[in-house]
């Protein structure tokens, strides 16, 4: 087993973990309307071009562009109105020279028409005749066939996160079902003789379980399915039995508490006993969360988090979320929401260590101001009062008041 406090940088530690297991990207087909937040298991191709017919983007008159050349308010063109394009149908007439037809937004362009004059630039001259007061070019105010996508185009690559826009695009193509990656099941084990369920009555010396719920929410937020194994007693046999059961039914096992260097440190020993290669990392050069454990047991990633709620949640953002994304086959990591802000005070840091500091965002004269929220790592409301986290890189000795920092929103 690696010696505790052989501290690795977070990126190196995470890559070590990711390199030692192969995600099992199982596919399942689900209704498109239920696929928000899921990840595509394969590329999606267009069954037909979109738009599938030339259509108007405005209300106005379908025309032959050449018939409007030179038209203006002082010298309008005059065209004969030959009808109205039916919405949702195919016009049963065409447009010939010096002719036009009423068309509405989304209407199918009649044969012979190659432009649309907005209704604001027209007026009735006399019965059956329309005055055109602005010229249009060929294709103006028209969506052409395949302008959005062409038949057999790949519209959504494999490993793509489905957002509302993708759901709408799939339905526009009549794709009512889609193959997605099965969400990974993430086992969450919370240990500690002093920890009890919020369903129980709290007695002196006891604390309610926090980590099971914050971690479950984080797992859901990143596309996994949390499986709570409850609170495990602080003894090796109990923890090993529960972890072994979780390893057999889940894709990722997360254990909170028991990761500090003390006589009550059980997590590293249990992980090392559950399969090969066992513990890969025991200690990460990050604050909060230095006593983090990363391992793989017979192909199943195992992560031991500190028991303190703030440390557990910060480390879960750095490691649990990344493993879930790998298990979903995301080709491009999701964009992390962040905002620039000016740091309100000096922040010190130890060179060589990556620090994450909770901050509140406040309105300032020239944008947002990041105000650090100080608190011990066992105080969960330290994070609940924060709007985001500021990273102090390992190469820095800290950050100075007035520095512009990127705040990763929570």
pLDDT tens by residue, 340-364: 999 999 998 888 888 888 888 999 8
3-state secondary structure of 346: coil
pLDDT tens by residue, 367-406: 899 998 887 656 667 777 888 889 988 888 889 998 998 8
Check if the beta carbon of residue 41 is closer than 8 Å to that of residue 329: yes
Check if the beta carbon of residue 358 is closer than 8 Å to that of residue 386: yes
**Among 262, 332, 322, which residue's Cα sits nearest to residue 294?**
322
Q: Is the pLDDT of residue 265 over 70?
A: no
CA separation for the pair 398, 114 (Å, rounded): 63
Q: Quote the distance between the C-alpha of residue 24 and its chain's center.
A: 20
**Among 325, 321, 293, which residue's Cα sits nearest to residue 307?**
293
- What one-character DSSP code corresponds to residue 22? -
pLDDT at residue number 378: 60
3-class DSSP string for 195-255: EECCCCCCCCCCEECCHHHHHHHHHHHCCCEEEEEEEECCCHHHHHHHHHHHHHHCCEEEE
CA separation for the pair 206, 192 (Å, rounded): 10
3-state secondary structure of 179: strand
Q: How confident is the model at residue 166 (pLDDT cuts 50, 70, 90)?
A: very high
Which residues does residue 348 pair with via DSSP β-bridges, in sequence order?
398
Question: Furthest-apart CA pair in the chain: how many Å?
Answer: 97
pLDDT tens by residue, 27-75: 999 999 999 999 999 999 999 999 999 999 999 999 999 999 999 999 9
pLDDT at residue number 128: 92
pLDDT at residue number 289: 84
pLDDT tens by residue, 277-332: 999 999 899 988 888 999 999 999 999 998 888 889 999 999 999 999 999 998 77
DSSP 62-100: EE-GGGGTT--SSS-EEEEEEEEPPTTS--SSB--TTEE
CA separation for the pair 204, 247 (Å, rounded): 34
Q: Is this structure's pTM higher than 0.85?
A: no
Q: How confident is the model at residue 259 (pLDDT cuts 50, 70, 90)?
A: very low
**Among 16, 44, 20, 8, which residue's Cα sits nearest to residue 296?**
20
Q: Across the chain, what does the average pLDDT equal?
A: 91
Q: Average of pLDDT values for 234-255?
A: 94
CA separation for the pair 375, 308 (Å, rounded): 12
Q: Is the pLDDT of residue 258 over 70?
A: no
Domains in the chain, CATH or no CATH each? 10-26+183-327 (3.40.980.10), 27-50+148-181 (3.90.105.10), 55-143 (2.170.190.11), 338-409 (2.40.340.10)
Check if the beta carbon of residue 312 is closer than 8 Å to that of residue 212: no
Within 10 angstroms of residue 181's Cβ, the number of other Cβ atoms is 23
Side-chain-side CA neighbours of residue 377 (13 Å) = 19
Q: How confident is the model at residue 193 (pLDDT cuts 50, 70, 90)?
A: confident
- What one-character DSSP code corresponds to residue 314? H
CA separation for the pair 132, 77 (Å, rounded): 5
What percentage of the chain reaches a pLDDT higher than 90?
A: 66
3-state secondary structure of 380: coil
What residues contact 339, with CB distance under 8 A and at least 6 apart?
361, 368, 388, 406, 407, 409
- What one-character DSSP code corresponds to residue 10? H
């Amino acid at each position: 087993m690696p010696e505790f406090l052989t501290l690795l940088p977070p990126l190196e530690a995470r890559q070590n973990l990711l390199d030692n297991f192969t995600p099992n990207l199982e596919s399942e087909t689900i209704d498109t309307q239920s696929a928000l937040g899921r990840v595509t298991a394969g590329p999606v191709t267009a069954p037909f071009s979109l738009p599938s017919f030339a259509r108007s983007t405005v209300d106005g008159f379908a025309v032959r562009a050449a018939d409007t050349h030179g038209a203006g308010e002082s010298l309008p063109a005059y065209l004969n109105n030959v009808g109205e394009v039916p919405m949702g149908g195919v016009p049963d007439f065409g447009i010939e020279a010096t002719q036009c037809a009423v068309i509405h937004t989304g209407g199918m362009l009649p044969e012979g028409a190659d432009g649309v004059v907005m209704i604001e630039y027209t007026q009735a001259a006399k019965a059956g005749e329309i005055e055109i007061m602005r010229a249009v070019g060929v294709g103006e105010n028209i969506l052409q066939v395949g302008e959005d996508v062409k038949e057999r185009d790949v519209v959504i690559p494999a490993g793509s996160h489905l957002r509302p826009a993708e759901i709408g695009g799939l339905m526009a193509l009549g794709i009512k079902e889609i193959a997605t990656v099965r969400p990974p099941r993430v086992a969450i084990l919370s240990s500690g003789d002093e920890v009890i369920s919020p369903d129980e009555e709290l007695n002196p010396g006891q604390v309610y379980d926090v980590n099971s719920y914050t971690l479950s929410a984080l797992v859901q937020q990143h596309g996994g399915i949390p499986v709570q194994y409850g609170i495990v007693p602080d003894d090796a046999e109990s923890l090993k039995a529960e972890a072994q059961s979780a390893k057999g039914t889940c894709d990722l096992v997360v254990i909170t508490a028991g990761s500090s260097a003390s006589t009550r440190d059980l997590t590293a020993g249990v992980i090392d006993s559950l399969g090969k290669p066992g513990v890969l990392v025991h200690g990460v050069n990050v604050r909060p969360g230095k006593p983090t454990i990363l391992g793989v047991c017979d192909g199943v990633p195992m992560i031991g988090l500190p028991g303190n709620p703030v440390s557990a949640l910060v480390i879960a953002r750095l490691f649990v979320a990344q493993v879930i994304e790998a298990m979903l086959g995301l080709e491009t990591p999701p964009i992390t929401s962040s905002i620039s802000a000016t740091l309100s005070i000096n922040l010190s840091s130890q060179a060589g260590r990556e620090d994450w500091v909770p901050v509140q965002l406040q309105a300032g004269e020239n944008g947002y101001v990041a105000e650090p929220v100080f608190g011990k790592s066992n105080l969960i409301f330290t994070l609940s009062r924060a709007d985001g986290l500021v990273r102090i890189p390992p190469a820095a000795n800290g950050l100075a008041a007035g520095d512009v920092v990127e705040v990763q929103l929570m």
